[in-house]
Amino acid sequence: TTLLIELSSEASQGLSYLPGEHLGVFPGNQPALVQGILERVVDGPAPDQPMRLETLDESGSYWVKDKRLPPCSLSQALTYFLDITTPPTQQLLRKLAQLATKEAERQRLETLCQPLEYNKWKFTNSPTFLEVLEEFP
Q: How far is CA 78 from CA 10, 96, 97, 112, 130, in A?
A: 31, 18, 21, 24, 11
Binned at pLDDT 50, 70 and 90, residue 44 comes out as: confident
Binned at pLDDT 50, 70 and 90, residue 32 comes out as: very high
80/91 same-domain check: no
> pTM for this structure?
0.76
Q: Is 3 within a domain?
A: no
Tell me which residue range forms the domain holding 107.
Answer: 86-137
Q: Is 92 within a domain?
A: yes
134/98 same-domain check: yes
- Residue 104: is its pLDDT beyond 80? yes
Looking at residue 47, its amino acid is: P
Q: What is the pLDDT of residue 41?
A: 92
What is the pLDDT averaged over residues 28-51? 94
62/92 same-domain check: no
Q: Is 12 within a domain?
A: no
Q: 31: number of CA atoms within 13 Å, CB side?
A: 0
Q: What CA–CA distance (Å, rounded) separates 33 from 31?
A: 5
Q: Where are the beta strands (DSSP E) in 24-123?
A: 50-51, 54-56, 63-65, 72-73
Q: Is 75 within a domain?
A: yes
100/137 same-domain check: yes
Which residues lie across from 54 on neighbouring strands?
Answer: 65
Give the number of domains in the chain.
2
Q: Is 18 within a domain?
A: no
